Amino acid sequence: MNRLIIIGAGGHGRVVADIASLRGYTDIVFLDADASKACCGPWPVVGTDDMAGSMDGDLFVAIGRAQHRSALMQRFSGRRFPTLIHPAATVAADVEIGDGTVVMAGAVINPGASIGQGVIINTSSSVDHDCAVHDYTHIAVGAHLCGSVTVGEGTWVGAGAIVSNNLSICAGCTLGAGTVVVRSIAQPGTYIGVPARKIK
């Protein structure tokens, strides 16, 4: 059987399913907390999240919120969570990427980088040489990490944000869309603007 069960029947899930189908999965089904959903694009929604434990197949959690992604991956630990890389992404040969991570079209990950589990490397973003992106982080559409940047667990680097080289962003941060980070961030919170400043 070549089945992928995707938890989270939203727009993000649809992109994940598209990549999975390009990567050879022929039987793709969705589960969602909302039992009223019947389909997600061309793929069926066959039940609620709880059913994942009783169904055969690989699992993928396609939920944007890091805490939910992490909780579901931990709940079903022991199952196989594939790493899904779009054929039009560019990933250097020595890059390590964890389970349940998706790398979308146009993304570039350069040599020496490491990417944790349950991470989203979104469309046309880049992770440059020797970066470390920890578990459940999301590098959003068009965001760029320059060389040797570390991003802690569960952080959201918003669309088009830029993190300058050799900096560290701690766990549990949100960087708003278009934020430019020029100093390391050691306190969890929400940061916006150029240069980045904390608002929450």
Ligand X SMILES: CC(C)(COP(=O)(O)OP(=O)(O)OC[C@H]1O[C@@H](n2cnc3c(N)ncnc32)[C@H](O)[C@@H]1OP(=O)(O)O)[C@@H](O)C(=O)NCCC(=O)NCCS
Give whichever of 167 and 180 is closer to ligand X, judged by the CB atom: 180
Give whichever of 134 and 138 is closer to ligand X, judged by the CB atom: 138
To the query of whether residue 129 is one of the catalytic residues in this protein, the response is: yes
- Cα(71)–Cα(84) distance, integer angstroms: 20
Confirm if 55 and 48 have CB atoms less than 8 A apart.
Answer: no
Give whichever of 167 and 177 is closer to ligand X, judged by the CB atom: 177
- Cα(99)–Cα(156) distance, integer angstroms: 18
Write the interaction track for ligand X spanning residues 74-113; mark x where CB under 6 A is met and - where it is not.
Answer: ----------------------------------------
- Which one from 12, 129, 138, 144 is the annotated catalytic residue? 129
Q: Which span (23-31, 127-135, 165-173, 191-199) binds ligand X, by CB under 6 A?
A: 191-199
> Cis peptide leading into 195, omega within 30 of 0?
yes
Tell the burial category of 183 from Cβ atoms under 10 Å away from its Cβ (0-12, 13-18, 19+).
exposed
- Which of 85, 191, 14, 58 shows the shortest CA–CA distance to 199? 191
Q: Does 178 bind ligand X (CB under 6 A)?
A: yes
Q: Does 125 bind ligand X (CB under 6 A)?
A: no
Give me the least distance between CB of 200 and ligand X, in Å please. 6
Q: Which of 28, 31, 84, 159 binds ligand X (CB under 6 A)?
A: 159
- Cα(78)–Cα(81) distance, integer angstroms: 9
- Which of 178, 19, 4 shows the shortest CA–CA distance to 105? 19
Catalytic residues: 129
The binding site for ligand X (CB under 6 A) comprises 122, 140-141, 158-159, 174, 176-178, 190, 192-193, 199
